């Protein structure tokens, strides 16, 4: 992992020297606000938990995360800095991991900045803060899954637009895998084992249980291994497709 630290720091700083970070964070916060308080009927539900908040995260991430991940490698390819990065003494694993971790840390920052929602719910009632904590962890893991998919796709192309669209489509498939209309449709004809397999890839189902405060190691392991597999593929793509 030679060079992980510098790559990570450079990438993370990169978000904040351009308006990207601020635009992203502001939009993220506004949208979570709208979704939670308006669409999610946060107050009308009269329950002191953050279900209304977390329920919208998968859909929010569907469009916001690809906007972060699209530039990871596509931009380096386009501007030729990939050649620079790959000829500096940075191992491929370090470059892949450094970029991913910086993007992940950045979304983590955006997520942490939603703390006023947490303060509100604590002010209004007595929520289960343990469950909320795991909700945040689950949300962060899911963001990592989206990011890893996006990083992998970004490594395949020079065009950020293509990377964005493909990432949205692929992430959408991962979300849909557990969406009940889709599951119902599948159950009509597919053998149960296939339905189960497809469902097991669903971000929605996995995240839903975490957001409820149900801690299942398998859900955590799912996201963690998804990240590892995607980053591994990311590295392989880089090696095989350099110019």
Partner 1 sequence: MQTFIELKQLTKWFGSPNSGGIKAVDSISFKVETGEVLGFLGPNGAGKSTTMKMVTGFLAPTSGSATVCGHDVQAEPLAVKKRIGYLPEGAPAYMDMTPEAFLEFCAQVRGLKGEAKKQAIKKAVDRTHIGGVLRQPVETLSKGFKRRVGLAQAILHEPDVLIMDEPTDGLDPNQKHEVRLLIREMAKAHAEGKGGRAVVLSTHILEEVEAVCSRVVLIARGRIVADCTPAEFMSKSRYHNAVTLALIPPPGVMIFEELKRIPSVESVEDNGTNKTADGTQVRCTVIARHGKAIAHEVSHLVKAKGWQVDMMRVEAGRLDDVFRELTTSSR
Does residue 6 bind partner 1 (CB under 8 A)?
yes
For partner 1, the closer CB: 79 or 197: 79
Q: How far is the CB of 91 from partner 1 (least distance, A)?
A: 6
Q: Closest separation between CB of residue 88 and partner 1, Å?
A: 5
**What percent of the chain is helix, strand and coil (3-state, nearest 5)?**
80, 0, 20
Q: How many positions of this chain bind partner 1 (CB under 8 A)?
A: 24
Q: Between vectors from CA 19 to CA 109 and to CA 50, what angle results, nearest 5°?
A: 30
**Contact (CB, 8 A) for 106 and 68:** yes
Contact between 196 and partner 1 by CB under 8 A: the answer reads no
| Cα–Cα distance for residue pair 156/238, rounded to 1 Å | 8
Distance, CA of 16 to CA of 33 (rounded, Å): 23
Residue 90 or 155: the one with the smaller Cβ distance to partner 1 is 90
Q: Please, what is the Cα angle at 212 between 142 and 120, to 5 degrees?
A: 90
Length of the chain: 243
Give least dist CB 240 to partner 1, A: 9
Residues 152 to 181: which contact partner 1 by CB under 8 A? none
Closer of 12 and 166 to partner 1 (Cβ): 12
Look-up of token digits 């992430």? 171
Interface with partner 1 (CB under 8 A), residue from 7, 12, 182, 231: 7
Residues numbered 61 to 90 that lie near partner 1 (CB under 8 A) are 79-81, 83-84, 86-90
Closest C-alpha to 52, from 116, 121, 1? 121
- Work out the number of other CB atoms within 10 angstroms of the CB of residue 17: 8
User: Binding residue for partner 1 (CB under 8 A) from 91, 120, 159, 209?
Assistant: 91
| Contact string 18-57 vs partner 1 (x = CB under 8 A) | x---------------------------------------
**What distance in Å separates the CA atoms of residue 176 and residue 172, rounded to the nearest whole number?**
6
Name the site residues for partner 1 (rule: CB under 8 A): 2-3, 5-7, 9-10, 13-14, 17-18, 79-81, 83-84, 86-91, 242-243
């Amino acid at each position: 992992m030679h060079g992980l630290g510098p790559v990570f720091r450079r990438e993370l700083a990169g978000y904040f020297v351009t308006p990207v970070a601020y635009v992203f964070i502001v939009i993220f916060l506004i949208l979570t606000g709208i979704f939670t308080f308006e669409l999610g009927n946060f107050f009308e539900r009269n329950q002191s938990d953050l279900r209304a908040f977390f329920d919208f995260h998968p859909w929010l991430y569907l469009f916001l995360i690809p906007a972060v991940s699209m530039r990871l490698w596509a931009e380096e390819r386009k501007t030729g800095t990939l050649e620079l990065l790959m000829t500096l003494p940075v191992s491929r694993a370090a470059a892949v991991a450094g970029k991913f971790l910086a993007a992940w840390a950045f979304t983590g920052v955006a997520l942490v900045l939603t703390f006023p929602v947490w303060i509100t719910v604590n002010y209004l009632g007595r929520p289960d803060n343990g469950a909320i904590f795991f909700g945040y962890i689950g949300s962060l893991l899911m963001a990592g899954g989206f990011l890893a998919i996006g990083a992998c796709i970004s490594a395949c192309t020079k065009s950020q637009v293509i990377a964005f669209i493909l990432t949205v489509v692929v992430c959408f498939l991962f979300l849909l895998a557990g969406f009940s209309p889709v599951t119902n449709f599948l159950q009509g004809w597919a053998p149960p084992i296939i339905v189960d397999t497809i469902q097991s890839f669903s971000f929605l189902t996995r995240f839903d249980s975490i957001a409820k405060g149900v801690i299942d190691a398998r859900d955590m392991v799912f996201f963690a291994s998804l990240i590892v597999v995607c980053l591994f593929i990311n590295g392989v793509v880089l090696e095989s497709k350099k110019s």
